Amino acid sequence: MTHAAALRPRFDAQRAAFARGAPDYRGRMQALTVLQDAVHARQEALVHAAADDFGGRTREETLILELFPFYDPVRHARRHLKAWMRHRRVGGSWFLLPSRAFVQYQPLGAVGAAARFRRASQAGRRGRPFRARPPVQVRAVETGERRFHDSN
């Protein structure tokens, strides 16, 4: 089975979830909490994996370079999500007076992100940094997009 064929069922599941409608504020906040808690629960495993991957990287270096930059966008999104979800009033055209106009941001669909990451056994620097991937997931949750990420 090709890689694309293997991802097809996951993408179809995302489309079905999108058809049910965008998550509301409470659902997005819960998803951000789940994402942050999942990373936090595996923080020590990630630190040890980075130390193995980079040949003895210190815990503090991994926290500063990899994990703290992940927690910041989550915290930022949680702080501003309600304001981002509000309708924004905008000026309407004069010929439509006395109408009112607003902008309402809505997710546009399901997105699949597939990327190939080097494994520790391959030559050169061992793997792609952790911080290169999760902000994509944070953006997906805050915008209400349905995404999956596959890193084979």
Over residues 10-21, the pLDDT tens digits come to 778 877 877 887
Query: Per CATH, which fold does 23-150 belong to?
Result: Aldehyde Dehydrogenase; Chain A, domain 1 (3.40.605)
Model-level pTM? Answer: 0.66
Spatial separation of the C-alpha atoms in residues 7 and 93, rounded to whole Å: 45
Beta strand spans in the chain (E): 88-90, 101-103, 110-114, 146-150
Amino acid 48: pLDDT: 87
Q: What is the pLDDT of residues 20-71, one digit of tens each?
A: 877 888 988 998 898 889 889 988 988 888 888 888 888 898 888 888 888 8
Q: Measure the CA–CA gap between 152 and 149, rounded to whole angstroms.
A: 10
Band (pLDDT 50/70/90 cuts) for residue 123 is very low
pLDDT > 60? residue 118? no
Q: Is residue 79 pLDDT above 90, yes or no?
A: yes
